[in-house]
Chains A and B, each alone.
Chain A
Amino acid sequence: MRGVQKRFGGVVALNGVTFEVMPGEVHALVGENGAGKSTLMKVLSGAHRSDGGAMELDGRPYEPSGPRDARRRGIAMIYQELTLAPHLSVQQNVMLGRETRTGGRFGVIRSAGMRASVRTALERLGRPDIDPRTPVAELSSGERQLVEIARALVENARVVVLDEPTSSIGRQEVAHLFEVVRRLRDQGVSVVYISHFLEEIQELGDRFTVLRDGRTVGSGMVKETSNSEMVELMLGRRVEQLYPVSSRTPGQPVLELDRLSGRNRPQKATCSLHRGEILGIGGLVGAGRSELIRTIFGLDPIQSGRIRFASITGSELVEVSRTTPGRSLRRGVGLLPEDRKQEGLALRLPIAINTTLSRLTEGRGLGRIGFLKRSALERSTDIMRDRLRISSTGPWQDTGSLSGGNQQKVALARLLHHECDVLLLDEPTRGVDVGSKAQIYGLLDELASGGTAIIAVCSYIPELLGLCDRVAVMHRGILGSPRPVAEWTEQSILEAALVAEGSGVVA
Chain B
Amino acid sequence: MSAASNQVETISAPREARRGARAVIQLLSPFIGLAVVVIIFSILAPDSFLTTRNIEKVAVQTVVIGLGAIGMTFVIISGGIDLSIGSVIALACTVTGWSLDKGASTPVAILCGAGAGVACGLVNGLAVTLLRIAPFIVTLGMLGIARGLAKGISGQQPIRVDPEASSWFSSDWLLDRDWFITAPAVWFMIGIALLGGFVLRNTAFGVYTVAIGSNEQTARLCGVPVRTMKVLIYVLCGLFAGLAGVVLFGRLGLGDPTAANGMELTIIAAVVIGGASLTGGEGRILGTIIGVFMLALLETGCNLYGAANYVQEILIGLIIVIAVSIDSLRHRRSTN
| Residues on A facing B (Cβ under 8 Å) | 67-68, 71, 83-88, 92-93, 96-100, 103, 106-109, 111, 129, 131, 134-135, 137-138, 151
Taking a contact as CB atoms closer than 8 A, the residue among A84, A99, A106, A134 that contacts B218 in the complex is A84
Q: From the candidates A96, A108, A129, A131, name the one contacting B219 in the complex (CB within 8 A).
A: A96
The number of residues on chain B lying at the interface, defined by a beta carbon within 8 Å of a beta carbon of chain A, is 29
Which of B15, B202, B214 is the one whose CB lies under 8 Å from A86?
Answer: B214
- A108–B202 CB distance below 8 A: yes
CB distance from B22 to the nearest CB of A (A): 9
Which residue of A has the minimal Cβ distance to B335? Answer: A137
Q: Is the Cβ of B5 less than 8 Å from the Cβ of A83?
A: no
Chain B 294-336 per-residue mask, 1 if CB under 8 angstroms from chain A, else 0: 0000000000000000000000000000000000000000110
A134 vs B19: C-alpha distance in the bound complex, in angstroms?
9
CB-contact partner of B281 in A86, A111, A138, under 8 A: A86
Contacts known (A97-B224, A134-B19, A138-B15); A83 close to B203, Cβ less than 8 A? no
A271 to chain B, nearest CB (A): 28
Does the CB pair B204–A99 fall under 8 Å? yes
A83 touching B218 in the complex, CB below 8 Å, given contacts A109-B202, A129-B5: yes
Contact B207–A96 (Cβ < 8 Å): yes
CB of B117 within 8 A of chain A?
no
Which residues of the other chain, B, contact A151 by a CB distance below 8 angstroms?
Answer: 222
Leading 7 A-B pairs by shortest Cβ distance: A85-B214, A97-B222, A97-B223, A87-B281, A99-B204, A96-B222, A87-B214
CB distance from B198 to the nearest CB of A (A): 8
Given contact pairs A92-B207, A107-B205, A108-B203, A85 touches B221 in the complex (Cβ within 8 A): no
Given contact pairs A68-B223, A86-B215, A88-B207, enumerate 4 new A-B contacts (beta carbons under 8 Å): A85-B214, A85-B219, A106-B203, A109-B203
In the complex, A138 Cα to B333 Cα: how many Å?
Answer: 12
B222 → chain A closest CB, angstroms: 4
Chain A proximity of B103: nearest CB distance (Å): 37
Measured CB to CB, the nearest residue on chain A to B213 is: A87
Residue of A nearest to B280 (CB): A87
- B335: A residues at CB distance < 8 A: 137
In the complex formed, the residue of A with least CB distance to B207 is A92
User: A68 contacts which chain B residues (CB < 8 A)?
Assistant: 221, 223
Q: Are A85 and B281 within 8 A (Cβ)?
A: yes
- Complex CA gap A29/B8 in Å reads 32
Query: Within 8 Å CB of B223, what residues of A?
Result: 68, 71, 97-98
- Report the minimum CB–CB distance from B295 to chain A (whole Å): 25
Are the C-beta atoms of A83 and B215 separated by less than 8 Å?
A: yes
Contact of B65 with A by CB under 8 A = no
- Collect the chain A residues with CB atoms within 8 Å of residue B213's CB: 87
B12 at interface (Cβ–Cβ under 8 A)?
Answer: yes
* Given known A-B contacts A85-B219, A87-B213, A129-B12, A138 and B204 have beta carbons under 8 A apart: no
Bound: A441/B316 CA distance, A: 58
